[in-house]
């Protein structure tokens, strides 16, 4: 939780709001890869990347 709070403070104080969409997309891709690693759709997910 400390990392998320620290990242939010960085974005807020430095006015680096353009980084927020990139962070969200990277987190989304990470969640998709982790959630699909043990399923039957894993080969199809990995072909996308």
Query: From CA 1, how far away is CA 37, in angstroms rounded?
Result: 24
No. of helices (H) and no. of strands (E), the chain: 3, 0
Query: From CA 7, how far away is CA 3, in angstroms rounded?
Result: 6
Every domain of the chain and the residues it spans:
2-48
Contacts of 11 (CB under 8 A, 6+ apart): 17, 19, 20
> pLDDT of 1-49, one tens digit each?
788 899 889 888 888 888 889 989 999 988 877 777 766 776 776 677 6
pLDDT of residue 16: 84
Query: From CA 29, how far away is CA 37, in angstroms rounded?
Result: 12
pTM to 2 decimal places? 0.62
pLDDT of residue 31: 84
pLDDT of residue 49: 65
Q: In the numeric block, which tokens belong to residue 42?
A: 């894993």
């Amino acid at each position: 939780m400390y990392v998320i709070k620290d990242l939010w403070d960085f974005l807020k104080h430095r006015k680096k709001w353009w980084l927020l969409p990139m962070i969200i997309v990277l987190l989304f891709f990470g969640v998709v890869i982790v959630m699909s690693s043990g399923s039957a759709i894993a080969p199809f997910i990995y072909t996308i990347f």
